[in-house]
Structure 1
Amino acid sequence: MTVRKAIEKIKGLEAERLSEISGKYSFFIEGGDPQRFTVEICDGRLEVFEEERPSDCSIRTDFATFEGLIEGAVNPLTAFMTGSLRVSGDLAFAMKLNKLLGGE
Protein backbone atom coordinates (compact mmCIF):
# COMPACT_ATOMS: atom_id res chain seq x y z
CA MET A 1 0.00 0.00 0.00
CA THR A 2 1.24 3.48 -0.80
CA VAL A 3 0.63 6.63 1.25
CA ARG A 4 -1.66 7.92 -1.50
CA LYS A 5 -3.76 4.73 -1.34
CA ALA A 6 -3.88 5.06 2.45
CA ILE A 7 -5.09 8.65 2.08
CA GLU A 8 -7.85 7.43 -0.25
CA LYS A 9 -8.83 4.80 2.34
CA ILE A 10 -8.95 7.49 5.05
CA LYS A 11 -11.06 9.73 2.79
CA GLY A 12 -13.55 6.89 2.39
CA LEU A 13 -14.21 6.35 6.10
CA GLU A 14 -17.85 6.08 7.07
CA ALA A 15 -19.46 9.02 8.87
CA GLU A 16 -20.29 6.87 11.92
CA ARG A 17 -16.58 6.20 12.46
CA LEU A 18 -16.01 9.97 12.53
CA SER A 19 -18.94 10.96 14.75
CA GLU A 20 -16.91 11.10 17.98
CA ILE A 21 -13.82 12.69 16.47
CA SER A 22 -13.33 16.39 15.84
CA GLY A 23 -9.95 17.96 15.20
CA LYS A 24 -6.86 17.82 13.05
CA TYR A 25 -4.08 15.26 12.74
CA SER A 26 -0.88 16.08 10.88
CA PHE A 27 1.23 13.17 9.69
CA PHE A 28 4.90 12.95 8.75
CA ILE A 29 5.66 9.60 7.12
CA GLU A 30 9.38 8.98 6.71
CA GLY A 31 9.85 7.38 3.30
CA GLY A 32 6.28 8.09 2.21
CA ASP A 33 4.97 9.92 -0.82
CA PRO A 34 3.68 12.35 0.18
CA GLN A 35 5.65 12.54 3.40
CA ARG A 36 3.35 15.11 5.00
CA PHE A 37 -0.42 15.34 5.08
CA THR A 38 -3.14 16.61 7.39
CA VAL A 39 -6.51 15.04 8.22
CA GLU A 40 -9.19 17.49 9.37
CA ILE A 41 -12.41 16.13 10.90
CA CYS A 42 -15.38 18.31 11.82
CA ASP A 43 -19.09 17.49 12.18
CA GLY A 44 -18.66 14.01 10.68
CA ARG A 45 -16.86 15.37 7.60
CA LEU A 46 -13.28 14.57 6.77
CA GLU A 47 -10.83 16.40 4.52
CA VAL A 48 -7.25 15.44 3.70
CA PHE A 49 -4.62 17.95 2.61
CA GLU A 50 -1.32 16.80 1.14
CA GLU A 51 0.63 19.29 3.22
CA GLU A 52 1.35 19.93 6.85
CA ARG A 53 -1.14 22.29 8.49
CA PRO A 54 -1.60 23.43 12.07
CA SER A 55 -3.11 20.54 14.01
CA ASP A 56 -4.20 19.28 17.41
CA CYS A 57 -1.90 16.29 17.16
CA SER A 58 1.23 15.55 15.11
CA ILE A 59 2.12 11.98 14.27
CA ARG A 60 5.52 10.92 12.99
CA THR A 61 6.39 7.40 11.90
CA ASP A 62 8.14 5.42 9.19
CA PHE A 63 6.35 4.07 6.13
CA ALA A 64 6.29 0.43 7.30
CA THR A 65 4.63 1.34 10.61
CA PHE A 66 2.14 3.63 8.87
CA GLU A 67 1.26 0.89 6.41
CA GLY A 68 0.70 -1.52 9.31
CA LEU A 69 -1.54 1.00 11.06
CA ILE A 70 -3.69 1.50 7.97
CA GLU A 71 -3.97 -2.24 7.29
CA GLY A 72 -4.78 -3.00 10.94
CA ALA A 73 -1.67 -5.11 11.48
CA VAL A 74 -0.09 -2.60 13.90
CA ASN A 75 -1.82 -1.31 17.03
CA PRO A 76 -1.28 2.47 17.42
CA LEU A 77 -0.78 2.20 21.20
CA THR A 78 1.81 -0.54 20.79
CA ALA A 79 3.60 1.46 18.09
CA PHE A 80 3.64 4.48 20.41
CA MET A 81 4.94 2.49 23.39
CA THR A 82 7.75 0.97 21.31
CA GLY A 83 8.77 4.34 19.87
CA SER A 84 7.94 3.58 16.24
CA LEU A 85 5.08 6.10 16.40
CA ARG A 86 5.87 9.52 17.88
CA VAL A 87 3.10 11.87 18.92
CA SER A 88 3.12 15.50 19.96
CA GLY A 89 0.22 17.72 20.90
CA ASP A 90 -3.08 16.52 22.35
CA LEU A 91 -2.45 12.95 23.54
CA ALA A 92 -6.13 12.32 24.36
CA PHE A 93 -6.97 13.20 20.75
CA ALA A 94 -4.13 10.95 19.57
CA MET A 95 -5.81 8.02 21.37
CA LYS A 96 -8.75 8.38 18.96
CA LEU A 97 -6.42 7.52 16.07
CA ASN A 98 -7.13 3.82 16.55
CA LYS A 99 -10.87 4.42 15.98
CA LEU A 100 -10.11 6.55 12.93
CA LEU A 101 -7.89 3.88 11.38
CA GLY A 102 -10.28 1.01 12.01
CA GLY A 103 -9.76 -0.22 15.56
CA GLU A 104 -12.18 0.11 18.44
Structure 2
Amino acid sequence: MSVADLFNNMPGRFQADKAAGTTMGILFDLSGDEGGQWYVNIADGKLDVSQGAPAAVPSATVKMASEDFQALSSGSLNPMMAFMTGKIKVEGDLNSVMKFQSLVGF
Protein backbone atom coordinates (compact mmCIF):
# COMPACT_ATOMS: atom_id res chain seq x y z
CA MET A 1 0.00 0.00 0.00
CA SER A 2 1.36 3.44 -0.87
CA VAL A 3 2.16 6.05 1.77
CA ALA A 4 -0.68 8.25 0.47
CA ASP A 5 -3.10 5.30 0.75
CA LEU A 6 -1.98 4.65 4.33
CA PHE A 7 -2.71 8.24 5.32
CA ASN A 8 -6.00 8.29 3.40
CA ASN A 9 -7.10 5.10 5.20
CA MET A 10 -6.02 6.34 8.63
CA PRO A 11 -9.44 7.82 9.59
CA GLY A 12 -10.92 4.32 9.15
CA ARG A 13 -8.35 2.87 11.57
CA PHE A 14 -8.97 5.59 14.14
CA GLN A 15 -10.41 4.35 17.43
CA ALA A 16 -12.56 7.33 18.41
CA ASP A 17 -13.81 5.59 21.56
CA LYS A 18 -10.27 5.73 22.99
CA ALA A 19 -9.76 9.40 22.03
CA ALA A 20 -12.15 11.13 24.43
CA GLY A 21 -10.65 14.48 25.41
CA THR A 22 -7.61 14.01 23.18
CA THR A 23 -6.37 16.94 21.13
CA MET A 24 -3.10 16.67 19.22
CA GLY A 25 -1.46 17.24 15.89
CA ILE A 26 1.29 15.01 14.56
CA LEU A 27 3.39 16.01 11.56
CA PHE A 28 4.94 13.11 9.65
CA ASP A 29 8.03 14.15 7.70
CA LEU A 30 8.91 11.20 5.48
CA SER A 31 11.98 10.83 3.29
CA GLY A 32 12.50 8.51 0.33
CA ASP A 33 10.59 7.69 -2.86
CA GLU A 34 7.13 8.35 -1.42
CA GLY A 35 8.33 11.00 1.00
CA GLY A 36 6.60 14.21 1.93
CA GLN A 37 4.79 15.76 4.83
CA TRP A 38 1.41 14.71 6.21
CA TYR A 39 -0.35 16.28 9.15
CA VAL A 40 -2.71 14.24 11.30
CA ASN A 41 -4.97 16.23 13.61
CA ILE A 42 -7.04 14.64 16.36
CA ALA A 43 -9.73 16.76 18.02
CA ASP A 44 -13.35 16.41 19.05
CA GLY A 45 -13.27 12.62 18.54
CA LYS A 46 -12.21 12.95 14.89
CA LEU A 47 -9.02 12.30 12.97
CA ASP A 48 -8.26 14.47 9.93
CA VAL A 49 -5.33 14.05 7.56
CA SER A 50 -3.90 16.71 5.26
CA GLN A 51 -0.83 16.76 3.10
CA GLY A 52 1.78 19.38 3.89
CA ALA A 53 2.90 21.18 7.03
CA PRO A 54 0.24 22.77 9.25
CA ALA A 55 -0.06 26.45 10.03
CA ALA A 56 -0.02 25.64 13.76
CA VAL A 57 2.89 24.11 15.64
CA PRO A 58 2.31 20.32 15.88
CA SER A 59 2.40 18.45 19.19
CA ALA A 60 5.19 16.35 17.68
CA THR A 61 7.05 15.79 14.42
CA VAL A 62 7.91 12.23 13.39
CA LYS A 63 10.79 11.87 10.93
CA MET A 64 11.42 8.59 9.17
CA ALA A 65 11.87 6.96 5.76
CA SER A 66 8.68 6.30 3.82
CA GLU A 67 9.65 2.62 3.56
CA ASP A 68 9.86 2.40 7.35
CA PHE A 69 6.46 4.09 7.69
CA GLN A 70 4.97 1.48 5.38
CA ALA A 71 6.60 -1.33 7.38
CA LEU A 72 5.38 0.21 10.64
CA SER A 73 1.84 0.48 9.28
CA SER A 74 1.79 -3.14 8.14
CA GLY A 75 3.09 -4.40 11.47
CA SER A 76 6.38 -5.71 10.10
CA LEU A 77 8.40 -3.00 11.92
CA ASN A 78 8.18 -2.76 15.70
CA PRO A 79 7.72 0.94 16.60
CA MET A 80 9.75 0.74 19.81
CA MET A 81 12.66 -1.01 18.09
CA ALA A 82 12.51 1.48 15.21
CA PHE A 83 12.69 4.35 17.70
CA MET A 84 15.51 2.76 19.70
CA THR A 85 17.59 2.11 16.56
CA GLY A 86 17.08 5.62 15.18
CA LYS A 87 14.79 4.71 12.28
CA ILE A 88 12.15 6.97 13.85
CA LYS A 89 13.07 10.37 15.22
CA VAL A 90 10.57 12.39 17.25
CA GLU A 91 10.72 16.12 17.91
CA GLY A 92 8.27 17.45 20.47
CA ASP A 93 5.95 15.49 22.74
CA LEU A 94 6.83 11.79 22.62
CA ASN A 95 3.76 10.97 24.74
CA SER A 96 1.51 12.35 21.98
CA VAL A 97 3.16 10.02 19.47
CA MET A 98 2.68 7.03 21.75
CA LYS A 99 -0.99 7.96 22.30
CA PHE A 100 -1.41 8.42 18.53
CA GLN A 101 0.01 4.95 17.94
CA SER A 102 -2.61 3.42 20.23
CA LEU A 103 -5.45 5.36 18.55
CA VAL A 104 -4.67 4.18 15.02
CA GLY A 105 -3.52 0.67 15.84
CA PHE A 106 0.13 0.85 14.83
Q: Is the 8 A contact 1:76 1:97 kept in 2?
A: no
TM-score, scaled relative to structure 1? 0.86
Q: Superposed, which structure 2 residues align to 1:64-75 within 5 Å? A: 64-75=67-78
Aligned to 1:11: 11
Structure 1 pair 92–14 and aligned structure 2 pair: CA distance change class (3 A): closer
Q: What is the total number of aligned residue pairs between the two structures?
A: 103
Q: CA deviation at 1:97?
A: 3.2
Alignment gaps of 5+ in structure 1:
none
Higher relative contact order (CA 8 A, sep 6+): 2
Q: Please, what is the CA RMSD of the aligned residues?
A: 1.8
Secondary structure in 1 aligned to 2:40?
strand
Q: Is the 8 A contact 1:3 1:32 kept in 2?
A: no
In structure 1, C-alpha distance between the alignment counterparts of 2:104 and 2:53, rounded to whole Å = 19
In structure 2, C-alpha distance between the alignment counterparts of 1:45 and 1:76, rounded to whole Å = 23
In structure 2, C-alpha distance between the alignment counterparts of 1:71 and 1:17, rounded to whole Å = 21
TM-score, scaled relative to structure 2? 0.84
Identity %: 29
Alignment gaps of 5+ in structure 2:
none
In structure 1, C-alpha distance between the alignment counterparts of 2:79 and 2:101, rounded to whole Å = 6
In structure 1, C-alpha distance between the alignment counterparts of 2:79 and 2:41, rounded to whole Å = 19
**Runs of at least 4 residues off by over 3 Å:** 17-21
